[in-house]
Amino acid sequence: MATDALQKTTLRVEQLGVSSQAGVDALFSELRSAADAEAAQIRGPESLEAFRVKWLGRRDGISSRISENWLKPAPPVMKKFVGAGLNQLRTALEASVESAKNSVADIETGPPIDLSLPGIERPVGTSHLIRQTYEELERIFLAIGFSVVEGPEMETPYYNFEALNIPEHHPARDNMDTFYIEGSGGHLLRTHTSPMQIRTMEKEPPPVRIIVPGKVYRRDNPDATHGFIFHQLEGLAVDYDITFCDFRGVVDYFVRALLGPKVKTRLRPSYFPFTEPSAEVDVSCHVCGGSGCRTCKFSGWIELFGSGMVNPAVYGFVGYDPKRLSGFAFGMGVDRLAMLRYGITDLQAFFQNDVRFLRQFP
């Protein structure tokens, strides 16, 4: 078959017993089939070159052999048919080589790039609502001279409790439902960002004005308002002349910057071992304006964060002089703040990363 057809090119047309146009056409169509079958097997630059040399090579290519063996010695009547057949074969072979060249290039470099086509649009993500809220909080405090510091999520009981005036067996340790890390020699996951108060004052001489964004952990069962992980923003300002009025002023400034000029604030007595006096900061309900609704549980007020004047006992742990220094601290739940702000009813939405939720806060 294929080999037969090729062998025939070593003989002359008369030797093959061909004496008509039909006979010549039959010879060429046999060769065409053989060439097409081989061209279909071309897989790379080497097999392409081998194909080209075999069929179109100057010295011993099949088309040259046809020219030598069939065309030149052919009787004048046959020359026309052989010449036409050879021309057609050459054209077909050259076309095969060209198209194989393209597909070989495709294999090597991929399809040709059409630079005029529009690009593939990749969806662009946005920062998470918690991140966005942090950025806004940071902007508000940076504007009045606070700077941002961050600290470890794995803490020692000393920083998380002891130095914050929460001694062992103090009931405040229980209601913080701490995760202790097994085999860590007593380390724990911080239950609040307050340990960074201690770490900062230990390192820096006064005055101190910091905010601390970060994740905190508590052994809570996850539900619409609780999670075992959530986000806080801590604040601490300590200097030689800070008064309760400064504290009150910063609270007012912050609440107005965050929620608008119409919102009212109120301080409610509270208790934290590391602040004295301690206060919960409430704001007038942004939904009903204070007249009472479901969001504020019909009280007109919403609890925003815990705070107070730094307990002088804390200064003792960091080598600050409690007689000359004073300051205030606060700690707020960022998830809670974002929920209030955007009317989100399920805390878990922040952690599930459902794009249908995330997309609503571009």
Residues near ligand PHE (CB under 6 A): 192, 194, 234, 272, 275, 306-308, 329-331
* Shortest Cβ 304–ligand PHE spacing (Å): 11
User: Comparing C-alpha atoms, which of 228, 235, 198 is closest to residue 213?
Assistant: 235
Residue partners of 94: CB distance under 8 A and separation at least 6 = 56
* Nearest residue to the partner ligand PHE, using Cβ: 331
- Taking the least distance from each CB to ligand PHE, the nearer of 129 and 310 is 310
Q: Is 207 helix (H, G, I), strand (E, B) or coil?
A: coil
Q: Among residues 44 and 249, whose Cβ is nearest to ligand PHE?
A: 249
Supply the minimum distance, in Å, between the C-beta of residue 143 and ligand PHE. Answer: 21
Is the distance from CB of 82 to CB of 56 less than 8 angstroms?
A: no
Least distance (Å) from ligand PHE to the CB of residue 130?
Answer: 17
Q: Beta partners for 208?
A: 238
Q: Which is nearer to ligand PHE, 229 or 287 (CB)?
A: 229
User: Nearer to ligand PHE by C-beta: 284 or 311?
Assistant: 311
Residue from 174, 218, 224 nearest 351 by CA? 224
ω into 277 cis (within 30 of 0): yes
- Pick between residue 100 and residue 189 the one whose CB is nearest to ligand PHE: 189
State the DSSP code for 186: S
3-class secondary-structure state, position 101:
helix
- Least distance to ligand PHE, CB of residue 211, Å: 11
Which residues are CB-neighbours of 193 under 8 A, at least 6 positions away? 151, 212, 213, 214, 216, 232, 233, 234, 331
**Least Å distance between CB 244 and ligand PHE?**
14
Closest CA to 233 of 162, 159, 164, 136: 136
DSSP 237-263: EEESS--HHHHHHHHHHHHHHHH-TT-
CB of 265 to ligand PHE, least distance (A): 16
The smaller minimum CB distance to ligand PHE, of residues 57 and 277, is found at 277
| Residue 250 · residue 144 · CB < 8 Å | yes
- For the bound state, the minimum distance from the C-beta of residue 246 to ligand PHE, rounded and expressed in Å, comes to 15
The residue ranges of DSSP E strands in the chain, in sequence order, are 147-148, 154-155, 188-189, 208-217, 229-239, 265-272, 275-284, 301-310, 326-333
Nearer to ligand PHE, 206 or 214 (CB): 214
Q: Closest CB to ligand PHE among 21 and 270?
A: 270
Question: Nearest approach, Cβ of 178 to ligand PHE (angstroms)?
Answer: 12
